[in-house]
Amino acid sequence: MNILFVADPLEAFKTYKDTTFSMMREAVRRGHTVAACLPQDISWRSGGQVQAVARRIELTGDDDGTWFRETGRPTVLLRDFDAVLMRKDPPFDSEYFYATHLLEQAEREGARVFNKPRTLRDHPEKLAIMEFPQFVSPTLVTRDAAEVRRFHAEHKDIILKPLDGMGGMGIFRVKEDALNLGSIIETLNKDGAETIMVQRFVPEITQGDKRILVIGGKPVPYSLARIPQGTEVRGNLAAGGKGVAMPLSDTDYAIANAIGPVLAARGLLLVGLDVIGACLTEINVTSPTCFQEITQQAGFDVPAMFIDALEAAVASAA
């Protein structure tokens, strides 16, 4: 296969942990060719088709800034690739949104894009949990400060977070004393201008915020539990959490097996479910990670499982 990765700048990859790099490495190991571009490298002109200035690369085997060698930078129609992988990291801002429209047009022209662009737009990572309330802890989505106060009065210990946050940014915990609740609400909802999410605090966070990967509708048998360190309430690796690979529990499997096939049928080849205790907290679809951490710690080859699924998806679409 000839695969195009729509991603962040290659020079910024931390190859010792980067999931997109691990996908490239496995693809090349199997004899596939890879190219990469930024979202801003994609364009469309009336009378033509969606195209991209793509960097054709070879992997050098090094683990530093020389991990790849560029062999050309042609302008190529997206439909001419066997697969296009949308791996641009969040945030899901206006430019990401516009990129999904360009990718959807490329699909209409015959390109095979993973994850499916329309489905990326239809599944905002925090709000997507509303479809599966049986797995969700008590949750409120609102911009009304009075509703947030009533929710706190009911549950006593809550988590507040912005809908467009990533990596644990903007997450606050407010305990029964309601210390700074008003200020936190004003900060997050911009005096009622923006919608936020509020959830009952799940004490099992001390055992980790588990990232459960679902590939082609099937769960990877190990999660990466992101465990908060010190006085931190956030388990996100970007916020200093410690990642520990562990086998999925029966509850983990129940959640993944209920949600995975539903999302796979909509064109989501790769999904990252965030689970604390028995509670689903997010459904990550833009650029799920943790491949290398799970592979290194548990010995389960996640990149191989992903490329297997990609090969099968491309073959079935041919």
Q: Which positions are catalytic?
A: 126, 161, 211, 226, 234, 274, 282, 284
Residue 9 CA to residue 5 CA, distance in Å, equals 11
The total of other beta-carbon atoms located within 10 Å of residue 107's CB is 19
Q: Output the six-digit token pair for 71.
A: 């062999």
Which among 248, 249, 155, 259 has a CA at the least distance from the CA of 215?
Answer: 259
How far lies 76's CA from each of 27, 36, 48, 79, 196, in Å?
Answer: 20, 11, 12, 8, 41
User: Which segments of the chain does DSSP mark as H helices, in order?
Assistant: 19-29, 94-108, 117-122, 145-155, 181-189, 250-264, 291-298, 302-317
Give residues with Cβ within 8 angstroms of 61, minimum separation 6.
67
Residue 7 CA to residue 1 CA, distance in Å, equals 18
Q: Are 212 and 252 in contact (CB under 8 A)?
A: yes
The total of other beta-carbon atoms located within 10 Å of residue 121's CB is 15
Length, in residues, of the chain: 318
Give residues with Cβ within 8 angstroms of 175, minimum separation 6.
156, 157, 201
Local structure of 180: helix, strand or coil: coil
How far lies 97's CA from each of 10, 67, 85, 100, 101, in Å?
Answer: 21, 30, 15, 5, 7
Q: Which helix (H) or strand (E) holds 73?
A: none
